[in-house]
A and B are shown apart, each in its own frame.
Chain A
């Protein structure tokens, strides 16, 4: 019984980790319909940002997240203006391989710059790596990451509903042509989306860093899962991403207890099953899986 409670807690927190890693992707994917295969590398850069921030200035990433977010917002703007702008209306393959090329470039630039060593930072004081709650232990680093995931979710929801640019983003994600007819400039919207999406991803990387390690290939540990979570949750639904992440985290933890060898297979099996039964994902708009942006 205690084991089940613990598995639930662990599963939910893992879900938080996955959701956090996928939020930025969902925004970009959902609005601009862009497949960003370099997503993992932006996470990696966020992790390194957290490492260097902590090592050089002593500011830990939980407090320094806004700094990271602001920096990565600019990175996102540059990403769109410098590359993605040229691929938006092209076939999907162009996006896939352009971002794939970027992924290879960033990964190896990091390798050249920072070597392959695994960097870690310690934030929680000794003895505070986890806390006891009702007989289950709750790892503090992942708890903070989970809280950040929820905070970002709420912030994005508020942003999308209450600000003008937010509603413009929603409009473009729902129907590009109609949005254009309403006088919305899709280019500005995409610019903003990328800025936001990459900012969220950078913050995610930074906030996840204490639970993991920064090294050039770490993006590859997260990128596939992030895509699965986004598709699972439903394209265009931020809340769906959280839900998808939670589902994935719980299933993986459950299977991991019983048959650890199959743990990673759960991601894919779940994806295939869900897509077969409900292609638009948990909270996605029906028919979203047939969407393309041409």
Chain B
């Protein structure tokens, strides 16, 4: 097939245009209320990335309904970062092309790590809402703030709940109980698993197995079989959505018997998990963040916000019920727009930093139950903590720590397959 001259010219023109375009300076007035948003919106992490985005969008709509920030409606400059490879470029684009002074991101640890590095070098404030890898905040960065706890903390708290509440609750004692840990092998999963193991080792609890796998796997039946041979009493897992569904389905097919299973966020606090497994999700514990907590434990203002969140969110998003990820996204964006930015009085990054560091909100001041106080050195939120849930009636309901629980009854040990309809009653 020969190439006609006309066709070639069109293609060359398109090529030339595409080469030139990023170099064409975007003539834009500096927008006072423009916030950079950096999330995985396509690719394998898209599902939860979009959840977080919905949380951001809901916060924006609430704030704009109340007049916006600095008298203007809040706007997002949004970039899609499917993986950490794109993180550097896209963060750079937000900063140089869109000229944002504040970025909120990023759901996944690898993305957060790479993007926050760019922000730090350019002295742009970066608020991390939900990525938990420890080393994100161990680089001594001054412009990075994290709302959520880190993964080691998550793993430890999970193991703590296991040793302090679940082991006695299922009628075992620490010396004889057998615990196994299973996590997907990304940065996140590995850190959570390691955190849990560290705690268990400290308490002298027997860890009969600690394995990891790639979350894109098509089969976990061999791992299930491994557990049938090793016979752990309690299983601590950290899984994304597809592998969580796969594993639990295959555990059901094999008739795997466990006294308790504890998830750590990821796939274990999303609706799709319940849709796929039906009543068999009931009884599973989860450590992480939840928006289905007891509003009575919240500060009065926050309790009202909580009510608004749960009522209005489904209306904005076609009846969809919010998940913890949407809640965390909402929390970070809402705090930024209503507490930090007004206190800073403008988009000066130094003032924003100071305003963030000056925040001091007690536990119960956010819809997920946390308080807010950024540690002056690591700039982690010292008042974020994981809550505990149990799946009951195909809903994830919080059971602790007190007073955040809403479930009246906790069922353990885990009933047999097909017999979990009555969990929590």
Contact = CB atoms under 8 A, between A and B. Distances in A.
Contact of A137 (B49, B253, B418): B253
Contacts of A137: 253-255
A120 B247 CA distance: 14
Contacts of B211: 260-261
A159 interface: no
A221 to B, nearest CB: 5
A115 B50 CA distance: 9
Interface residues of A, number: 45
Nearest to A132: B255
B21 interface: no
Interface stretch (A149-157, A180-188, A211-219): A211-219
Contacts of A264: 213-214, 216-217
Interface string B25-54: 000000000000000001110110110000
Contacts of A174: none
A117 B272 contact: yes
A125 to B, nearest CB: 11
Interface stretch (A3-11, A60-68, A72-80): A3-11
Contacts of B223: 256-257, 260
Task: Find the residue from A108, A126, A254 having the highest chain B CB count within 10 A.
Answer: A126
A111 B46 contact: yes
A278 interface: no
Given A213-B245, A220-B44, A261 B185 contact: yes
A115 B48 CA distance: 11
B228 interface: yes
Interface in A88-143: 108, 111, 115-120, 122, 126-127, 129-130, 137, 139
B46 A222 contact: no
A252 B219 CA distance: 9
A17 interface: yes
Interface string B196-218: 00000000000000011110111
B226 A257 contact: yes
Interface string A9-31: 01000100110000000000000
A43 to B, nearest CB: 11
B4 interface: no
Contacts of A129: 249, 252-253
Contacts of B299: none
Contacts of A130: 252-255
Nearest to B47: A116
A176 B225 CA distance: 48
B425 interface: no
Interface string B246-283: 10011011110000000000000000100110110000
A120 B217 contact: no
A263 B217 contact: yes
B interface bracket (residues with beta carbon within 8 Å of A): 35 or more
Contacts of A218: 242
A212 B246 contact: yes
Given A127-B418, A261-B211, A3 B225 contact: yes
Contact of A118 (B47, B217, B219): B47
A254 B218 CA distance: 14
A138 to B, nearest CB: 8
A233 B227 CA distance: 32
Nearest to A90: B1
A120 B47 contact: no
A3 B216 contact: no
B33 to A, nearest CB: 28
B275 to A, nearest CB: 6
B221 interface: yes
Contacts of A119: 272
A249 B275 CA distance: 28
B18 interface: no
A50 to B, nearest CB: 14
Interface of A: 3, 6-7, 10, 14, 17-18, 86, 108, 111, 115-120, 122, 126-127, 129-130, 137, 139, 211-213, 215-218, 220-222, 225, 249, 252-257, 260-261, 263-264
Interface of B: 1, 42-44, 46-47, 49-50, 185, 211-214, 216-223, 225-226, 228-229, 241-242, 245-246, 249-250, 252-255, 272, 275-276, 278-279, 418
20 contacts: A6-B228, A7-B222, A10-B222, A115-B47, A116-B42, A116-B47, A118-B47, A119-B272, A126-B279, A129-B252, A212-B246, A213-B276, A217-B44, A218-B242, A256-B222, A257-B223, A260-B223, A264-B213, A264-B214, A264-B216
Given A211-B249, A218-B242, A257-B223, 17 more contacts: A3-B228, A10-B222, A108-B42, A118-B242, A126-B279, A127-B418, A129-B252, A130-B253, A137-B254, A217-B43, A217-B46, A225-B218, A252-B222, A256-B226, A257-B226, A260-B213, A263-B222
